[in-house]
Structure 1
Amino acid sequence: MTDSKTSPAPATAAQRSPGIAAPFAALLIAVLSFSLMQTMVVPALPDLQREFAAGTTAVSWVLSAFLLTASVATALLGRVGDMFGKRRVLLASLTVFAAGTLFAALSDSVGMLIAARAVQGVGSAAFPLAFGIVREQFPRERVPVAIGLISSTFGIGFGVGLVIPGPIVDALGWQWIFWFGLIVIVLGIAAVAAFTDESRVRSPGRIDWAGAALFSAGVTALLLAISQGTSWGWGSAAVVGLFAAAVVLLAVFVAVEQRTREPLIDIELLRRRAVATSHVAALIIGFGMYGAFTLVPLLAQTPSRAGYGFDASVTGSGLFMVPMAATMLIASPLAGRLGAAVGFRLPLVLACLVGMAGFAVYAAAHDTEWAVYAGSAVLGVGVGFAFAALVNLVVGAVGPDRTGEATGINTIMRTIGGSLGAQIAASVVAAETVPGTGIPAESGYTTAFVMSAAALAVAALAALAGPGRRVTRP
């Protein structure tokens, strides 16, 4: 006689696991290692310029090379992780990242350092792959908060990376920025290898090499035009040509993907309301918020003889970003809990409104240190809410087999917006100087902060166009 009882469903990784603390800590270390390396080199740029007797343009490529490869790798390796296993691809990405960091520490020329930074950019895949691992291996009720905390690490590492390099460079030299980063990366590799399981959910297929080439070329042309727009001139033939090439290449990419049986990026996926509005909001939020990451330290370093500024050192100027990192760490899990209860559209709209308030403080009261600290704290809440809500909206709108792909594209949209916002904000600030000093006029900062607030108002409208409740795809 057959047994009429239904056999229990196989346990998920989260149910089999005695806890999620260890894998969560492993993923945090992995993504923190990348987010720190985004900006730790920034305070050291003057030292690098002197060390290698390089020009300003050459040194700027230390940042641009990293940005270009990171943006391409985020989307490509996110999709590859969906296909072949997120843990496997994450470990490979971190290993290449470690190799690039080692080469950077050993660099004896600016050319070698630029090449090493380009290799480092591959580590950007840590974010979409980590989001996918969380979705598959954590209990469902823990996913929004975990994603919120991992998302906040992007901004926290960005801010902290501006603070700690000053003392390191002063005491040990610029090479130790990379030795320190390498230690964190190796810890991340060991933790991911020891405490995370390989994903069982796959999206089988072959790598779409034609799509990968077109997408990489289009994104590279776009970001190269943005990153070099200020130095080459926004109306120069090179920049205009790169923008035109980006439009053509990405248009061809879309056409090719729609006709490919196993596309690199599912175009139909991008048309879903929750996904499309999240990507648009990420682009605009990146444009608005990243201006603060670069402008506030510059404002703090301005000599007070200009009529504003605080005569801050490189290390002291980075401290103005600490309140943002602190409130971001608190706000991200709160956004995850709120979104799980009422849907993530509300946290995203609140993120934009709170961010507007932070920029309003910057614009109206940046003549006193306490006001800038307060503006940073307020803006940190907005950034924390935004990063958590954006990723959760995307994760809730796609299947587990497309998590890496979808969150990778969302990260790229935020990066493109941030790159454009930072460059335009820098151009606005540099447009007018204090007579006889060459120091940017205070009005430029005010205008840039108001511009960021206006961008977040537009982002709030984009967020309102998205779905109100979390959409969970099987």
Structure 2
Amino acid sequence: MNRRTPPITLVLASSGTVVALMQTITVPMLPILPEITGSAPADVSWMVTATLLSGSVATPLLGRAGDMYGRRRVLLWALAVVVVGSLLCALSSALPILVLGRALQGVGLAATPLGISILRAELPPERVAGAVAMMSATIGIGAAIGLPIAAFVIEYVSWHAMFWVCAVAALAVLLTVRWAVPETEPAEAQRFDYLGAAGLATVLVCLMLAITKGPDWGFTAPPTLMLGGAAVLIALGWGWYELRRPEPLLDLRVAARPAVLLANLVALFVGFAFYANSLSTAQLVQEPESTGYGLGLSIVASGLCLLPGGLAMAFLAPVSARLTNRRGAKTTVALASIVIALGYVVRYLASHALWSIILGATVVAVGTALAYSALPVLIMGAIPVSETGEATGVNTLMRMVGQAGSSAMSAAVLSHLVIGGAPSLDAYLLIFLVAGAAAVCALVLALMVPRQPLALRVPGPAPAPEPV
């Protein structure tokens, strides 16, 4: 075993946490950005949308590029792009530059699938599950701790300082990855499917725009319907093209295997449930006391309500790995879905006291940690090592689509169920019901996944493709 193996997991997990943190850092800034940039609230929302769009495109494409050209090399380039994006935001107050910088930051979301594929290739088989669990959990950990950190820096320093922190953190992990992580052997020489990449990027941009901007434009408005229809039509043409390629961008035959397909659907529903928890908690506790249910907390205090959940996700990743090794990834994901659903039962029944709100949010975070840690292992049992980056990239993408759908649902509910200019308690209760139902759907799908060996096998030759 390489003497540099011990720090690899910690280094890669740090990179995943840093880029995941950038998903939520703009949430506390949204109320003040219209005044700072001289723009309308609908325009500043592009600072969130841009990150989701670029991340959704970069995650599967860079995962595939890493499998072909070297995962460490692609990861370093992704982190370099994050540094540039952070510097743009730190140095400017012009909205177009801020949106561009946020789009460049979103490219870093590919760090998680790239890190998972590096760990699978470099670590001994008995250590893979634990390392992958930690790496996968960074998506939730970074998102959970990002809000309180950003709120504190913005309130007590400045909003520009938050982006300087991001730039320094991204540069630090880039240098650490370059020092500690060896380059993995790329796959046999292949031609990158540029036309397939352009088609997939177009599908994802149309889909994510329809989901994220639907609450602003209206879900039945012509732009939303046109983008949704375009996503479906282009996806059909793209799928037809990919199935006939000898070296496709994404192997749809592998993606259609029950274990892979069902795991991706579970990721979609778990991502939906997780993000609803973060969004609703931060806003619920900030509602004024005059609403009859709000607590009137500050931005910093509301962010701290999510901190126990973020810490729980960090500490539970090793627990999830042990459970997965003993009982299998399928059992872990099913248990995680039950825990998430129970968390929303708590949220639905007890949303008036601060302690019960934090308890419910933390229970949901615990379930999310178990699910996020086990999902990559569930997929890796059905794919060859050479396609790990591609497959885990798609799984991460499905979580992001779920998060985008959750954000759109929450925005629509909170804007329609209003009393006295503020969302009613019924609006939050409806969000909890829908998110709890998503967890139940994840449970049903997890139980349908074919049973796999309890431990990951030693990587070997790629299996022959299975017929669709």
TM-score interval (norm. to shorter): over 0.9
Instruction: Give 1 or 2 for the bigger CA radius of gyration.
Output: 1
Please report how far the alpha carbon of residue 96 of structure 1 lies from its aligned counterpart in structure 2 after TM superposition. 1.1
- Cα distance in 2 for partners of 1:73, 1:193 equals 21
Specify the code of the residue in structure 2 equivalent to 1:107. Answer: S
SS of 1:366's equivalent in the other structure is coil
Report the equivalent of 1:230: 215
Amino acid in the other structure paired with 2:194: W
What is the match of residue 414 of structure 1?
Answer: 399
Query: Which 10-residue stretch deviates more, 38-47 or 78-87?
Result: 38-47
Distance in 2 (alpha carbons) for counterparts of 1:428 and 1:390: 29
> Take 1:328 and 1:118, find their aligned partners in 2: how far apart are those partners?
27
Aligned to 2:151: 166
User: 2 CA distance for matches of 1:96 and 1:412?
Assistant: 19
Structure 2 residue 368 is the aligned partner of structure 1 residue 383: yes
> Pick from 88, 92, 98: which aligns with 1:113?
98
Displacement of 1:376 in angstroms is 1.7
CA distance in 2, matches of 1:427, 1:129: 34
> Which residue of 107, 111, 120 maps to 1:135?
120
Q: How does 1:395-414 map to 2 (within 5 A)?
A: 395-414=380-399
Q: Return the letter of the residue paired with 2:443.
A: A
Which moved further from structure 2: 103-112 or 353-362?
103-112
Secondary structure, aligned partner of 1:46: coil
Alignment of 1:204-283 (within 5 A): 204-283=189-268
In the other structure, the counterpart of 1:462 is 445
Cα distance in structure 2, aligned partners of 1:246 and 1:349: 31
Q: Secondary structure at the match of 1:264?
A: coil
1:336 to 290, 299, 321: 321
C-alpha contact 1:29 1:184 (8 A) present in aligned 2: no
Aligned with residue 275 of structure 2, among 281, 290, 302: 290
Could you tell me how far apart the structure 2 residues matched to 1:260 and 1:157 are?
37
1:203 CA displacement: 4.8
Contact 2:66 2:186 survives alignment (8 Å): no
Rounded to whole Å, the distance in 2 between the matches of 1:139 and 1:413 is 28
1:302 partner SS = coil
Q: 1:98 — aligned with what? A: 83
* Contact 2:4-2:180 at 8 Å conserved across structures: no
1:5 is aligned to none
**Contact 1:159–1:322 (CA under 8 A) maintained in structure 2:** yes
> How big is the shift at 1:170?
2.3
Give the C-alpha shift of residue 140 in structure 1. Answer: 0.9
CA distance in structure 1 between the partners assigned to 2:275 and 2:71 by the alignment: 29
Shift of 1:200: 1.8
Deviation at 1:19, TM superposition (A): 5.2
Alignment coverage as a number of residue pairs:
457
Alpha-carbon distance in structure 2 between the residues aligned to 1:379 and 1:288: 8
* Per-residue CA distance 1:86-144 (angstroms, 9 max, x = gap): 00110111111111111111123011100111111111111111001100111111111
CA deviations on 1:338-363 (whole Å, 9 max, x unpaired) are: 11122100000001000001111111
> Any unmatched runs of 5+ in structure 1?
1-14
Deviation for aligned residue 1:396: 2.3
Give the match for residue 3 of structure 1.
none
For the residue of structure 2 that corresponds to 1:397, the secondary structure is: coil
1:446 aligns with 2:429: yes
Find the residue that maps to 2:248 and give its secondary structure. coil
Q: More displaced, 191-200 or 47-56?
A: 47-56
Q: 2-side partners of 1:216 and 1:203: how far apart?
A: 25
Match of 2:7 among 1, 19, 22: 22
CA distance in structure 2 between the aligned counterparts of 1:374 and 1:19, rounded to whole angstroms: 40
1:437-470 deviation per Cα after TM superposition (whole angstroms, max 9, x unaligned): 2000101101110111111111101001102224
1:425 corresponds in structure 2 to 410
Gaps of 5+ in 2: 461-468
The answer for the alignment partner of 1:12 in structure 2 is: none
Out of 178, 182, 202, the position equivalent to 1:193 is 178
User: AA paired with 1:448?
Assistant: I
CA separation in 2, counterparts of 1:166 and 1:132?
A: 33
2:129 is the alignment partner of 1:155: no
Matched residue type, 2:450: P
State the 1:332 CA deviation: 1.9
Provide the TM-score with structure 1 as the length reference: 0.94
Q: Give the distance between the partners of 1:320 and 1:427, measured in 2 at CA.
A: 24
Helix, strand or coil for the counterpart of 2:22?
helix
Deviation by residue 1:312-367 (Cα, 9 ceiling, x = unmatched): 11111111111211221222221111111221000000010000011111111010
Cα distance in structure 2, aligned partners of 1:47 and 1:171: 14
User: Retained in 2: the 8 A contact 1:348–1:386?
Assistant: yes
Note if contact 2:69-2:186 (Cα within 8 Å) is conserved in structure 1: no
Give, as a single letter, the amino acid of the residue that structure 1 aligns with 2:386.
D
For the Cα contact (< 8 Å) 2:4–2:181, is it kept in 1? no
Identify the range of structure 1 (287-296 vs 195-204) with the bigger mean alpha-carbon deviation: 195-204
Deviation at 1:18, TM superposition (A): 2.2
* 1:368 and 2:353 aligned: yes
CA distance in 1, matches of 2:425, 2:39: 30
Give the structure 2 partner of residue 79 of structure 1.
64
- Cα distance in 2 for partners of 1:106, 1:186 equals 16
User: What's the CA shift for 1:152?
Assistant: 1.3
CA RMSD of aligned residues (A): 1.2
User: Partners in 2 of 1:422 and 1:362 — Cα distance?
Assistant: 18
User: What amino acid does structure 2 have at the position aligned with 1:131?
Assistant: I
1:175 corresponds to 2:185: no
Q: Distance in 2 between matches of 1:380 and 1:287?
A: 12
Query: Residue type matched to 1:254 in 2?
Result: G
Q: Percent identity?
A: 34
How far apart are 1:288 and its partner, in Å? 2.1
- Contact kept? 2:266, 2:446, Cα under 8 Å: yes
Alignment of 1:302 onto 2:290 = no
SS in structure 1 of the partner of residue 32 of structure 2: helix
Return the match for 2:169 from 184, 191, 214.
184
Q: C-alpha distance in 2, partners of 1:243/1:196? A: 41
Provide the secondary structure at the position in 2 that maps to 1:199: coil
Aligned counterparts of 2:193 and 2:25: Cα–Cα separation in 1: 34
Q: Which residue of 1 aligns with 2:464?
A: none
**Is this contact kept in 2: 1:82–1:203, CA < 8 A?**
no
1:164 is paired with a residue whose SS is helix
In the TM superposition, residue 382 of structure 1 has moved relative to its aligned partner by 0.3
Q: Distance in 2 between matches of 1:439 and 1:47?
A: 19
SS in 2 for 1:204: coil
Which residue of the partner structure matches residue 35 of structure 2?
Answer: 50
Distance 1:108 1:35 in 2: 23
Counterpart of 2:422, as a letter, is: I
Read off the aligned partner of 1:446 and give its amino acid letter: L
